Structure 1
Amino acid sequence: MRGFLASSVGVTCAAALALPMALSAPAQAGPGLQAATTEPAVQGSTQSLPLVPLDGVRAFGSAAPEQGLSRRDVRSFSLVGVIWDDPGAELHGRVQVRTRATGTTDWSPWQDVETHNHEHAADPDTAERDSGRVRGSTAPLWVGDSDGVEVRVQAEVDQRAPLPGGRPLPRGLRLELVDPGAEPPSGNTPADAGRTGVLSADLDASTVETTTASAENAALAPLGATEIPALSQSETEREALALNQGEPMGKPYIGERPKIITRRGWGANESLRERGFVYTKKVKAAFVHHSASGNNYRCSQASSVIRSIYRYHVVSSGWRDVGYNFLVDKCGNIYEGRAGGVAKAVKGAHTLGFNANSMGIAVLGSFGKAKPSAAALTAIARLTAWKLGLFGANPKGKTYLTSGGGNLYRKGKNVRLNVISGHRDGFATECPGRALYGKLGSARKDAARYQGR
């Protein structure tokens, strides 16, 4: 590990911070670093292990520029990440892990864990940002069923730093090992379209009420037409809006609702998240993200990946719920993200400075170089055609959002954005990856076509 020159890792796209939670911080591991945090009587578990200085730098203690854990046996897990105490502190350096597949002697090569830091947070000067329970964190990495782990973190080399070899690393570094738990008992996998936990365009409200995890989806009409501004306006109001936007008068442009696997469908443990819901006035824009969790998953594992990300966001990072409003897998399956109702303007935690009046869609995977699947792009287009249409938004159009503060736009600035934007349009980040970002133009055109424009 020593002698290895770590460059600054690019900002990635995990979700932004959310509201205060009634959750405790990870418990401290006991002697020998063998203890772990596990919430009793819930699906899945989290092991939290403190990192220690590596050989040769132990004299620096928690300020050591190289920290990690040697190869060790642990309980079964499938997703890893590293957290630290201060969500405002940046991790300038490189995080690498290798894991052992459960029941084998096979160790993976070293894998990079993408870092993201304080810029992924709720808008400044809000209760969401100032909860006191949130922690800094890397992106989560899906590694599959494993029972052995080794990790190393090295500070970025900086000749100006007071410590030899690099800048100081954040205090309180811990390795989080997440077990997603078993699949829901009713077999709600993506292949089970039409079973419990799937919102389909041909389901009526009474059916939806019995198949969703959240009662907030119970009133969802066949096209999600309840309490939607674009559908509740009078004819005169709609005509005035159409004239103002330079569009012909007619029925609202709303794409057909796609099939959406609900939280119950992917097995969300609702006892983990904060109980209340937070809404904004409307959905004027959609921000597309990648989860930065890697591409080594099968579509049959997508629910497990999402349960792991959910647990990592809530238990490890201290957020109130999973950050994204929706998630999409490589096979084009769409999943309900943050609770509160798929047709409603639920405030997510996905794009620092622009969480209000927007929604966040995360494609499972990493797309800096890997191309997103055609099925995932189609899902983005169909989902945005429906959800943006409910609020009268044109996927090919522009809109204005007021910045809550970030590294591109000061707080209070009125910013003109594409109605379908990438995370990098609202914040200086690599997200959603160059390969996915380059496809958003096609997604805009397809979404508009699905709306009938």
Structure 2
Amino acid sequence: MLFACLPGLAAVLALLLCARGVDRTVTAAGREVAARPVASHQAPRPEIVPRTAWLDDDTRHGQPPPRYDDKVVAVFVHHTDSPNGYDCADAPRIIRYLYAGQTGSRDWDDIGYNFLVDRCGTIYEGRAGGIERPVTGAHTQGFNHRTTGIAALGTFTAGADVPKAMTEAIAALAAWKLGLSDTDPRARVRLTSSNSLSRYASGTTATLPALAGHNTGYMTSCPGAALTARLPEIRQIAARLQGRAP
């Protein structure tokens, strides 16, 4: 056996390293350094349509640059409260309309959602700043930091049909985005409210689901009763895509 050939102290150290579940590498100088942890749950990145498919980025001329957090540890799911019977080919036009409303009458600097998903399961980049980066959104009052906002195109109040392709796409996107910080979609995470207009006073640290509905952090019916009811299933699918045990 390998450890039988090692001196006593070296064998003990080797066993400890195995018990910690950390790979070790040796530098050219012979120094041992820690590598990445063995246990990491990253899901593949799903196909995402860039925002240039629905908006010319020159439109952002004169607007402030994107803001960033250090990482994403939670996802908030929304619906857009718009008609459900659209042709999926019209999704870019619908997103452009949502953008116009949020940057126009609401005077936001960009669309609030980081991503949008249509009923055919197509994922669109929303807010500018980079798909893979932890862009600070404007989707959940008080909890825009360290989170990503995913909006389902449509209205999903009680009794509405929630397309399977849509929920599977939301799960795939959440699995990938949360996997970048090795966050289990079924876990609960600690987030600090930045605005007393949320369900929690500014400065309050709340323990919330890592994959939550908009109504978890803010007083709203969004993402609608029908989509809210699908969140447990979406969490399970996302966890499976990360390779986590049931």
Counterpart residue identity of residue 50, structure 2: T
1:254 to 39, 42, 48: 42
For the pair 1:301 / 2:100, whether they are aligned, the reply is no
Is 1:417 the equivalent of 2:215? Answer: no
SS at match of 1:280: coil
For residues 238 and 400 of structure 1, do their structure 2 counterparts lie closer, same or farther at Cα, with a shift above 3 Å needed?
Answer: farther
CA distance in 1, matches of 2:131, 2:199: 29
Residues 321-348 of structure 1 show CA distances to partners (whole Å, capped at 9, x for unaligned) of: 0000000000000000100001111000
Provide the C-alpha distance between the structure 2 equivalents of 1:425 and 1:402, rounded to a whole number of angstroms.
13
Q: Distance in 1 between matches of 2:131 and 2:141?
A: 21
Task: Report matched runs for 1:89-128 at 5 Å.
Answer: none
Aligned to 1:362: 151
Q: Work out whether residues 141 and 198 of structure 2, in 8 Å CA contact, stay in contact via their aligned partners in 1.
A: no
Deviation at 1:265, TM superposition (A): 2.1
For residues 412 and 336 of structure 1, do their structure 2 counterparts lie closer, same or farther at Cα, with a shift above 3 Å needed? same
Match in the other structure for 1:136: none
Local SS of the residue matching 1:384: helix
Instruction: State the shift of 1:282 in Å.
Output: 1.1
TM-score normalised to the size of structure 2? 0.81
Q: Which residue of 1 aligns with 2:6?
A: none
Residues 14-413 of structure 1: pairs in structure 2 closer than 5 A: 236=34, 239=37, 250-272=38-60, 274-369=63-158, 370-404=160-194, 405-413=196-204
The one-letter code sitting in structure 2 at the alignment partner of 1:414 is: T
**CA deviation after TM superposition for structure 1 residue 251, in Å:** 4.3
1:272·1:314 contact (CA, 8 Å) conserved in 2? no
RMSD over aligned CA atoms reads 1.6
Residue 406 to residue 236, structure 1, CA distance change in 2 (3 Å): farther
| Unaligned ranges ≥5, structure 1 | 1-234, 240-249
Greater relative contact order structure (CA < 8 Å, 6+ sep): 2
In structure 2, runs of 5+ residues without a counterpart are 1-32
Question: Equivalent residue for 2:234?
Answer: 443
Aligned-partner Cα distance in 2 for 1:348–1:320: 10
Instruction: For residues 20-60 of structure 1, give each alpha carbon's deviation from its aligned partner in whole angstroms, at most 9, with x where no partner exists.
Output: xxxxxxxxxxxxxxxxxxxxxxxxxxxxxxxxxxxxxxxxx
Paired residues of 2:129 and 2:135 also in contact (CA < 8 A):
yes
Q: Secondary structure at the match of 1:316?
A: coil
Runs of 4+ in 1 over 3 A off after TM superposition: 235-239, 267-270
Cα distance in structure 2, aligned partners of 1:237 and 1:423: 37
Contact 1:272–1:315, Cα closer than 8 Å, also in 2: no
The two structures have a TM-score, normalised by structure 1, of 0.45
In structure 2, give the amino acid aligned to 1:392. Answer: D
Cα separation, partners in 2 of 1:393 and 1:268, compared to 1, 3 Å = farther
User: Structure 1 residues 397 and 237 mapped into 2: Cα distance closer, same or farther (>3 Å)?
Assistant: farther
* Structure 1 Cα separation of the partners of residues 124 and 209 of structure 2: 23
Distance 1:440 1:392 in 2: 19
CA distance in 1, matches of 2:36, 2:156: 39
Letter in 2 for 1:362: A
Contact 1:288 1:421 in 2 (8 A): yes
Q: Percent identity?
A: 44
Note the C-alpha offset of 1:280. Answer: 1.2
CA shift, 1:275, in A, is 4.5
Q: 1:177: which partner in 2? A: none
Aligned-residue offset at 1:349: 0.2
Kept in 1, the 8 Å contact 2:79–2:223? The answer is yes
Q: Counterparts of 2:180 and 2:198 in 1: how far apart (Å)?
A: 31
Letter in 2 for 1:436: L
